[in-house]
């Protein structure tokens, strides 16, 4: 896995965008001031390279390499997630789901005093898929969706992540 960096300025803070190759495709990761703010799974292939001068980028790549080699390796990376108070609660609950386990949208809804649809919407808006493991949330009777999709490449990614973590799918 390797990365390439593009730097851009936003409102007096510098953001860097890494492109990390992975078994899922290219992961486009935006980080700012030592915090990851976004991770998007690109469904197209692309180039990647490792910048010698960015120690935080190297830390991100190392953590992801360990996870993709061994799903029990924790993805403990500093995050700043922009979302509503409810979304923050859902994303926190997602991080508490252990590797190799799932929860249903309904279970999380009961835990948070909400509805399954609201939990699903918060999962869909998760800005750092894989790191905040929304893939571990499934429907009561089936896989459910991933990144707002219920079929196609996104659902294949969810299935791959669950199988990678040792979760048997029907």
Helix H or strand E segment including 8: strand 5-10
H or E element that contains 122: helix 116-124
Distances (CA, A) of 137 to 54, 72, 127: 34, 18, 15
> Which of 52, 14, 55 is closest to 32 using CA atoms?
14
Hey, which residues are catalytic here?
A: 134
Coil, helix or strand at residue 34: coil
In DSSP terms, 139 is beta-bridged to: 142
């Amino acid at each position: 896995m390797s990365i390439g960096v593009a730097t851009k300025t936003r409102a007096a803070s510098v953001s860097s965008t890494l492109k990390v190759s992975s078994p899922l495709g290219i992961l486009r990761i935006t980080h700012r001031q030592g915090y990851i703010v976004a991770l998007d799974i690109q469904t197209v292939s692309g180039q990647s390279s490792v910048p010698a001068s960015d120690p935080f980028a190297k830390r991100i790549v190392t953590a992801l390499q360990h996870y993709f080699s061994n799903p029990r390796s924790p993805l403990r990376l500093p995050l700043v997630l922009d979302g509503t108070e409810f979304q923050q609660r859902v994303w926190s609950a997602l991080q508490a789901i252990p590797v190799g386990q799932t929860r249903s949208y309904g279970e999380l809804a009961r835990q948070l005093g909400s509805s399954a649809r609201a939990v699903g919407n918060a999962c869909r808006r998760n800005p750092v898929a894989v790191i905040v493991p929304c893939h571990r949330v499934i429907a009561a009777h089936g896989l459910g969706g991933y990144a707002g999709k219920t079929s196609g490449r996104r659902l294949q990614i969810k299935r791959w992540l669950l199988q990678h973590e040792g979760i048997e799918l029907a």
